[in-house]
Protein backbone atom coordinates (compact mmCIF):
# COMPACT_ATOMS: atom_id res chain seq x y z
CA UNK A 1 0.00 0.00 0.00
CA UNK A 2 1.24 3.44 -0.97
CA UNK A 3 0.32 5.12 2.30
CA UNK A 4 1.52 2.37 4.59
CA UNK A 5 3.89 3.56 7.30
CA UNK A 6 7.51 2.52 6.87
CA UNK A 7 8.54 1.05 10.20
CA UNK A 8 10.80 -1.86 9.20
CA UNK A 9 14.57 -1.69 8.90
CA UNK A 10 15.98 -2.04 5.41
CA UNK A 11 16.73 -5.58 4.30
CA UNK A 12 20.21 -6.57 3.05
CA UNK A 13 18.82 -6.69 -0.51
CA UNK A 14 17.42 -3.16 -0.23
CA UNK A 15 20.80 -1.94 1.01
CA UNK A 16 22.63 -3.68 -1.85
CA UNK A 17 20.23 -2.18 -4.40
CA UNK A 18 20.63 1.31 -2.95
CA UNK A 19 24.41 0.94 -2.96
CA UNK A 20 24.31 0.01 -6.65
CA UNK A 21 22.39 3.25 -7.24
CA UNK A 22 25.12 5.20 -5.43
CA UNK A 23 23.06 5.88 -2.30
CA UNK A 24 25.45 5.35 0.60
CA UNK A 25 25.96 6.90 4.02
CA UNK A 26 28.31 9.84 3.66
CA UNK A 27 29.04 13.03 5.57
CA UNK A 28 30.70 15.88 3.68
CA UNK A 29 31.61 17.50 7.00
CA UNK A 30 34.02 14.64 7.73
CA UNK A 31 35.82 15.28 4.44
CA UNK A 32 35.94 19.04 5.17
CA UNK A 33 37.22 18.55 8.71
CA UNK A 34 39.91 16.07 7.64
CA UNK A 35 41.06 18.30 4.75
CA UNK A 36 41.21 21.52 6.79
CA UNK A 37 42.90 19.82 9.73
CA UNK A 38 45.43 18.13 7.44
CA UNK A 39 46.21 21.30 5.50
CA UNK A 40 46.91 23.47 8.51
CA UNK A 41 48.72 20.72 10.42
CA UNK A 42 51.00 20.18 7.41
CA UNK A 43 51.55 23.94 7.06
CA UNK A 44 52.48 24.07 10.75
CA UNK A 45 54.95 21.20 10.36
CA UNK A 46 56.41 22.42 7.05
CA UNK A 47 56.37 26.13 7.87
CA UNK A 48 60.12 26.36 8.48
CA UNK A 49 60.91 24.48 5.25
CA UNK A 50 58.50 26.67 3.23
CA UNK A 51 59.81 29.95 4.68
CA UNK A 52 63.44 28.95 4.08
CA UNK A 53 62.74 28.19 0.42
CA UNK A 54 60.80 31.42 -0.09
CA UNK A 55 63.45 33.54 1.65
CA UNK A 56 66.24 31.82 -0.29
CA UNK A 57 64.50 32.46 -3.59
CA UNK A 58 63.64 36.05 -2.65
CA UNK A 59 67.26 36.71 -1.64
CA UNK A 60 68.58 35.40 -4.94
CA UNK A 61 66.10 37.47 -6.94
CA UNK A 62 66.92 40.59 -4.88
CA UNK A 63 70.67 40.14 -5.28
CA UNK A 64 70.41 39.60 -9.02
CA UNK A 65 67.82 42.29 -9.65
CA UNK A 66 70.42 44.93 -10.51
CA UNK A 67 72.38 42.78 -12.92
CA UNK A 68 69.63 40.53 -14.28
CA UNK A 69 68.94 40.96 -17.97
CA UNK A 70 65.52 39.96 -19.25
CA UNK A 71 65.75 38.29 -22.65
CA UNK A 72 64.73 35.10 -24.43
CA UNK A 73 67.62 33.15 -22.90
CA UNK A 74 66.99 34.14 -19.28
CA UNK A 75 63.17 34.18 -19.05
CA UNK A 76 62.67 30.43 -19.44
CA UNK A 77 65.13 29.39 -16.67
CA UNK A 78 63.53 31.99 -14.39
CA UNK A 79 60.03 30.62 -15.07
CA UNK A 80 61.26 27.06 -14.42
CA UNK A 81 62.83 28.16 -11.14
CA UNK A 82 59.69 29.95 -10.01
CA UNK A 83 57.56 26.88 -10.79
CA UNK A 84 60.06 24.65 -8.93
CA UNK A 85 59.89 26.84 -5.83
CA UNK A 86 56.07 26.91 -5.94
CA UNK A 87 55.92 23.13 -6.27
CA UNK A 88 58.39 22.65 -3.39
CA UNK A 89 56.53 25.08 -1.14
CA UNK A 90 52.88 24.38 -2.03
CA UNK A 91 53.14 20.84 -3.49
CA UNK A 92 53.37 18.88 -0.21
CA UNK A 93 50.42 20.75 1.28
CA UNK A 94 48.30 20.21 -1.86
CA UNK A 95 49.21 16.51 -1.92
CA UNK A 96 48.24 16.10 1.74
CA UNK A 97 44.96 17.97 1.13
CA UNK A 98 44.15 15.72 -1.83
CA UNK A 99 44.92 12.51 0.08
CA UNK A 100 42.90 13.62 3.12
CA UNK A 101 40.01 14.48 0.81
CA UNK A 102 40.05 11.03 -0.82
CA UNK A 103 40.62 8.78 2.23
CA UNK A 104 37.48 9.80 4.22
CA UNK A 105 35.35 9.50 1.07
CA UNK A 106 36.67 6.04 0.25
CA UNK A 107 36.31 4.96 3.88
CA UNK A 108 32.68 6.09 4.07
CA UNK A 109 31.62 4.66 0.69
CA UNK A 110 33.81 1.53 1.09
CA UNK A 111 35.37 2.13 -2.30
CA UNK A 112 32.09 2.52 -4.19
CA UNK A 113 32.42 3.93 -7.70
CA UNK A 114 29.31 4.34 -9.82
CA UNK A 115 28.28 6.63 -12.68
CA UNK A 116 24.56 6.38 -11.93
CA UNK A 117 24.61 9.44 -9.70
CA UNK A 118 25.90 11.47 -12.68
CA UNK A 119 23.18 10.31 -15.07
CA UNK A 120 20.66 13.06 -15.99
CA UNK A 121 17.32 12.93 -14.20
CA UNK A 122 14.47 15.06 -15.54
CA UNK A 123 12.87 15.08 -12.08
CA UNK A 124 15.67 17.40 -11.00
CA UNK A 125 14.33 20.04 -13.39
CA UNK A 126 10.95 20.07 -11.63
CA UNK A 127 10.71 23.40 -9.73
CA UNK A 128 8.29 21.90 -7.18
CA UNK A 129 10.86 19.28 -6.23
CA UNK A 130 13.46 22.02 -5.85
CA UNK A 131 11.17 24.01 -3.55
CA UNK A 132 10.50 20.89 -1.47
CA UNK A 133 14.24 20.35 -1.04
CA UNK A 134 14.70 23.97 0.06
CA UNK A 135 12.28 23.44 2.93
CA UNK A 136 13.23 19.84 3.73
CA UNK A 137 14.53 18.78 7.14
CA UNK A 138 18.02 18.26 5.75
CA UNK A 139 18.13 21.77 4.22
CA UNK A 140 16.87 23.41 7.43
CA UNK A 141 19.40 21.49 9.52
CA UNK A 142 22.13 22.50 7.07
CA UNK A 143 21.23 26.20 7.36
CA UNK A 144 21.05 26.05 11.16
CA UNK A 145 24.33 24.17 11.30
CA UNK A 146 26.00 26.77 9.08
CA UNK A 147 24.72 29.67 11.22
CA UNK A 148 25.86 28.00 14.44
CA UNK A 149 29.29 27.33 12.93
CA UNK A 150 29.68 30.98 11.84
CA UNK A 151 28.59 32.28 15.26
CA UNK A 152 30.82 29.91 17.22
CA UNK A 153 33.85 30.45 14.97
CA UNK A 154 33.33 34.23 15.10
CA UNK A 155 33.17 34.12 18.90
CA UNK A 156 36.29 31.94 19.11
CA UNK A 157 38.29 34.29 16.88
CA UNK A 158 37.06 37.38 18.77
CA UNK A 159 37.89 35.76 22.12
CA UNK A 160 41.41 34.75 21.00
CA UNK A 161 42.17 38.21 19.58
CA UNK A 162 40.88 39.86 22.76
CA UNK A 163 43.16 37.70 24.92
CA UNK A 164 46.18 38.43 22.70
CA UNK A 165 45.50 42.15 22.23
CA UNK A 166 47.95 43.33 24.97
CA UNK A 167 50.77 41.33 23.36
CA UNK A 168 49.80 42.52 19.86
CA UNK A 169 49.96 46.15 21.02
CA UNK A 170 53.37 45.57 22.66
CA UNK A 171 54.76 44.28 19.32
CA UNK A 172 54.56 47.76 17.84
CA UNK A 173 58.06 48.44 19.18
CA UNK A 174 59.35 44.95 18.26
CA UNK A 175 61.04 43.90 15.04
CA UNK A 176 59.16 43.01 11.88
CA UNK A 177 60.16 39.32 11.95
CA UNK A 178 59.15 38.96 15.60
CA UNK A 179 55.76 40.48 14.86
CA UNK A 180 55.23 38.25 11.83
CA UNK A 181 56.26 35.15 13.80
CA UNK A 182 53.80 35.93 16.61
CA UNK A 183 51.03 36.70 14.10
CA UNK A 184 51.66 33.39 12.30
CA UNK A 185 51.62 31.41 15.56
CA UNK A 186 48.44 33.15 16.68
CA UNK A 187 46.73 32.39 13.38
CA UNK A 188 47.79 28.74 13.59
CA UNK A 189 46.48 28.43 17.14
CA UNK A 190 43.12 29.92 16.15
CA UNK A 191 42.90 27.69 13.08
CA UNK A 192 43.61 24.59 15.17
CA UNK A 193 40.80 25.56 17.56
CA UNK A 194 38.51 25.91 14.56
CA UNK A 195 39.65 22.50 13.31
CA UNK A 196 38.79 20.93 16.67
CA UNK A 197 35.34 22.50 16.39
CA UNK A 198 35.00 21.08 12.86
CA UNK A 199 35.79 17.60 14.18
CA UNK A 200 32.89 17.81 16.64
CA UNK A 201 30.65 19.24 13.90
CA UNK A 202 31.66 16.38 11.59
CA UNK A 203 30.83 13.81 14.28
CA UNK A 204 27.41 15.37 14.85
CA UNK A 205 26.76 15.61 11.11
CA UNK A 206 27.71 11.95 10.63
CA UNK A 207 25.17 10.89 13.27
CA UNK A 208 22.50 13.06 11.64
CA UNK A 209 23.30 11.70 8.16
CA UNK A 210 23.16 8.15 9.54
CA UNK A 211 19.73 8.83 11.05
CA UNK A 212 18.49 10.37 7.77
CA UNK A 213 19.96 7.52 5.72
CA UNK A 214 18.36 4.80 7.86
CA UNK A 215 15.04 6.66 7.85
CA UNK A 216 15.15 6.94 4.06
CA UNK A 217 15.86 3.21 3.66
CA UNK A 218 13.07 2.05 5.95
CA UNK A 219 10.47 -0.24 4.42
CA UNK A 220 6.83 -0.99 5.07
CA UNK A 221 5.82 -4.47 6.18
CA UNK A 222 4.20 -5.03 2.80
CA UNK A 223 7.42 -4.12 0.98
CA UNK A 224 9.36 -6.61 3.11
CA UNK A 225 6.81 -9.33 2.29
CA UNK A 226 6.92 -8.54 -1.44
CA UNK A 227 10.70 -8.61 -1.47
CA UNK A 228 10.73 -11.95 0.34
CA UNK A 229 8.26 -13.38 -2.19
CA UNK A 230 10.40 -12.16 -5.09
CA UNK A 231 13.54 -13.69 -3.62
CA UNK A 232 11.80 -16.98 -2.85
CA UNK A 233 10.28 -17.09 -6.32
CA UNK A 234 13.46 -16.26 -8.16
CA UNK A 235 14.59 -19.46 -9.98
CA UNK A 236 18.23 -18.41 -9.80
CA UNK A 237 18.00 -17.87 -6.03
CA UNK A 238 16.25 -21.21 -5.58
CA UNK A 239 18.86 -22.94 -7.71
CA UNK A 240 21.72 -21.39 -5.75
CA UNK A 241 20.11 -22.29 -2.40
CA UNK A 242 19.53 -25.87 -3.55
CA UNK A 243 23.07 -26.15 -4.91
CA UNK A 244 24.50 -24.81 -1.67
CA UNK A 245 22.41 -27.22 0.40
CA UNK A 246 23.55 -30.16 -1.74
CA UNK A 247 27.19 -29.13 -1.37
CA UNK A 248 26.84 -28.90 2.41
CA UNK A 249 25.06 -32.27 2.58
CA UNK A 250 27.72 -33.93 0.42
CA UNK A 251 30.48 -32.43 2.54
CA UNK A 252 28.91 -33.77 5.75
CA UNK A 253 28.31 -37.13 4.09
CA UNK A 254 31.95 -37.43 2.98
CA UNK A 255 33.09 -36.71 6.52
CA UNK A 256 31.14 -39.78 7.67
CA UNK A 257 32.78 -42.20 5.19
CA UNK A 258 35.93 -42.92 7.29
CA UNK A 259 33.70 -44.19 10.14
CA UNK A 260 31.93 -46.75 7.90
CA UNK A 261 32.26 -50.50 8.44
CA UNK A 262 32.00 -51.34 4.76
CA UNK A 263 31.43 -49.80 1.32
CA UNK A 264 29.15 -51.86 -0.94
CA UNK A 265 29.77 -50.89 -4.54
CA UNK A 266 28.79 -51.60 -8.11
CA UNK A 267 32.29 -51.12 -9.49
CA UNK A 268 31.89 -47.57 -10.85
CA UNK A 269 28.18 -46.69 -10.82
CA UNK A 270 27.02 -46.99 -7.20
CA UNK A 271 28.61 -46.91 -3.75
CA UNK A 272 26.86 -47.16 -0.36
CA UNK A 273 28.63 -46.76 3.01
CA UNK A 274 27.20 -48.78 5.93
CA UNK A 275 27.88 -48.45 9.64
CA UNK A 276 26.58 -50.74 12.36
CA UNK A 277 26.64 -49.80 16.03
CA UNK A 278 24.97 -52.48 18.13
CA UNK A 279 24.47 -50.06 21.06
CA UNK A 280 22.70 -47.42 18.95
CA UNK A 281 21.18 -49.13 15.91
CA UNK A 282 18.88 -52.09 15.44
CA UNK A 283 20.24 -52.56 11.93
CA UNK A 284 23.12 -51.20 9.81
CA UNK A 285 22.71 -47.55 8.82
CA UNK A 286 23.41 -45.88 5.45
CA UNK A 287 25.76 -43.00 6.23
CA UNK A 288 26.81 -42.15 2.64
CA UNK A 289 25.74 -43.04 -0.85
CA UNK A 290 26.33 -41.83 -4.36
CA UNK A 291 26.55 -42.77 -8.00
CA UNK A 292 29.04 -42.15 -10.81
CA UNK A 293 31.54 -39.45 -9.73
CA UNK A 294 30.22 -39.32 -6.16
CA UNK A 295 30.47 -43.11 -5.89
CA UNK A 296 34.11 -43.04 -6.99
CA UNK A 297 34.78 -40.27 -4.45
CA UNK A 298 33.28 -42.35 -1.63
CA UNK A 299 35.45 -45.32 -2.61
CA UNK A 300 38.54 -43.11 -2.84
CA UNK A 301 38.01 -41.71 0.70
CA UNK A 302 37.27 -45.22 2.02
CA UNK A 303 40.49 -46.63 0.58
CA UNK A 304 42.50 -43.80 2.11
CA UNK A 305 41.10 -44.68 5.55
CA UNK A 306 41.35 -48.50 5.12
CA UNK A 307 37.60 -49.00 4.96
CA UNK A 308 36.87 -52.29 3.22
CA UNK A 309 35.05 -52.13 -0.14
CA UNK A 310 32.92 -55.08 -1.31
CA UNK A 311 31.62 -55.43 -4.86
CA UNK A 312 27.98 -56.54 -4.90
CA UNK A 313 26.13 -54.79 -7.78
CA UNK A 314 22.56 -56.00 -6.97
CA UNK A 315 22.90 -55.10 -3.28
CA UNK A 316 24.54 -51.73 -4.05
CA UNK A 317 21.70 -50.78 -6.42
CA UNK A 318 19.05 -51.94 -3.95
CA UNK A 319 20.56 -49.98 -1.04
CA UNK A 320 21.00 -46.86 -3.17
CA UNK A 321 17.40 -46.86 -4.44
CA UNK A 322 15.55 -48.12 -1.33
CA UNK A 323 17.34 -46.55 1.67
CA UNK A 324 17.55 -42.82 2.37
CA UNK A 325 20.67 -41.26 3.84
CA UNK A 326 20.83 -41.67 7.63
CA UNK A 327 18.25 -44.49 7.64
CA UNK A 328 18.59 -48.12 8.71
CA UNK A 329 18.39 -50.82 6.05
CA UNK A 330 14.99 -52.50 5.55
CA UNK A 331 14.19 -55.99 6.83
CA UNK A 332 14.31 -57.60 3.38
CA UNK A 333 17.97 -56.67 2.98
CA UNK A 334 19.09 -57.95 6.39
CA UNK A 335 20.42 -61.32 5.16
CA UNK A 336 22.37 -59.89 2.21
CA UNK A 337 23.96 -57.15 4.36
CA UNK A 338 24.64 -59.60 7.21
CA UNK A 339 26.63 -61.84 4.87
CA UNK A 340 28.73 -58.85 3.73
CA UNK A 341 29.37 -57.66 7.30
CA UNK A 342 30.29 -61.19 8.40
CA UNK A 343 32.91 -61.31 5.64
CA UNK A 344 34.21 -57.86 6.61
CA UNK A 345 34.50 -58.70 10.33
CA UNK A 346 36.20 -62.01 9.48
CA UNK A 347 38.77 -60.21 7.32
CA UNK A 348 39.37 -57.64 10.06
CA UNK A 349 39.97 -60.36 12.64
CA UNK A 350 42.40 -62.10 10.33
CA UNK A 351 44.39 -58.89 9.85
CA UNK A 352 44.42 -58.23 13.60
CA UNK A 353 45.58 -61.80 14.41
CA UNK A 354 48.25 -61.62 11.73
Strand partners, 219: 8
List the domain range (segments joined by +) for residue 204. 23-110+126-218
- Both 312 and 279 in a single domain? yes
With respect to residue 248, please indicate whether it lies within any of the assigned structural domains: yes
E strand or H helix that includes residue 265: strand 262-266
- Both 344 and 261 in a single domain? yes
Percent of the chain exceeding pLDDT 70 equals 82
Query: What DSSP assignment string belongs to 41-66?
Result: HHHHHHHHHHHHHHHHHHHHHHHHTT
pLDDT of 52? 78
pLDDT of 129? 60
Q: Name the domain count of the chain.
A: 2
- Both 189 and 249 in a single domain? no
- Both 80 and 205 in a single domain? yes
- Both 249 and 213 in a single domain? no
With respect to residue 199, please indicate whether it lies within any of the assigned structural domains: yes
Decide: 227 and 14 in contact? Cβ < 8 Å.
yes
Nearest to 123 by CA among 133, 115, 110, 136: 133
pLDDT of 25? 80
Q: Residue 345: which pLDDT band, with cuts at 50, 70 and 90?
A: confident
pLDDT at 218 over 50: yes
pLDDT of 109? 79
pLDDT of 9? 84
**CATH number of the domain that 273 lies in?**
3.40.1690.10
pLDDT of 271? 92
pLDDT of 273? 92
Task: Provide the mean pLDDT of the chain.
Answer: 79
- Both 46 and 148 in a single domain? yes
pLDDT in tens, 252-273: 888 888 988 899 998 778 999 9
pLDDT of 112? 72
Q: How large is the average pLDDT for residues 128-157?
A: 75
pLDDT at 125 over 60: no
- Both 136 and 245 in a single domain? no
Task: Judge residue 130's burial from the number of C-beta atoms within 10 Å of its C-beta, 0-12 exposed, 13-18 middle, 19 or more buried.
Answer: exposed
- Both 157 and 102 in a single domain? yes
pTM more than 0.85? no
Alpha carbon distance 203, 186 (integer Å): 26
Radius of gyration for the chain, computed over Cα atoms and rounded to the nearest angstrom: 39
pLDDT of 272? 92
Decide: 86 and 54 in contact? Cβ < 8 Å.
no
- Both 75 and 174 in a single domain? yes
Q: How large is the average pLDDT for residues 273-292?
A: 86
pLDDT in tens, 79-105: 777 788 888 878 888 888 888 878 888
pLDDT at 1 over 60: no
pLDDT at 68 over 60: no
- Both 198 and 335 in a single domain? no
Q: Three-state DSSP class for 232?
A: helix
Q: How large is the average pLDDT for residues 157-164?
A: 83
With respect to residue 116, please indicate whether it lies within any of the assigned structural domains: no
Q: How large is the average pLDDT for residues 123-143?
A: 65
- Both 66 and 210 in a single domain? yes
Strand 309-311 and strand 285-291: the pairing is unpaired
- Both 170 and 313 in a single domain? no
pLDDT in tens, 187-211: 777 887 888 888 888 888 888 888 8
pLDDT of 49? 78
Q: How large is the average pLDDT for residues 161-176?
A: 76
Q: How large is the average pLDDT for residues 312-341?
A: 89
- Single out the residue in 171, 187, 218 at which a domain terminates: 218
pLDDT of 23? 78
With respect to residue 184, please indicate whether it lies within any of the assigned structural domains: yes
Amino acid sequence: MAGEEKTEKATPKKRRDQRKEGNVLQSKEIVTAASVLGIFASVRLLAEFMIKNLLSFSTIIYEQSGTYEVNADTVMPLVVRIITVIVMVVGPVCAIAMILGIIPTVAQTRGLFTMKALQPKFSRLNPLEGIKKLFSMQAIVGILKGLIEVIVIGYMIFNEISKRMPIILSLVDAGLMQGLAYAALSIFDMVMLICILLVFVAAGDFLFQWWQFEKKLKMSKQEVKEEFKQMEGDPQVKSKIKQRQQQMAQSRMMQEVPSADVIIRNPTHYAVALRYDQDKNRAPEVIAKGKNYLALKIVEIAEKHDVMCVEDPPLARALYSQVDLGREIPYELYNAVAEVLTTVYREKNKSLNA
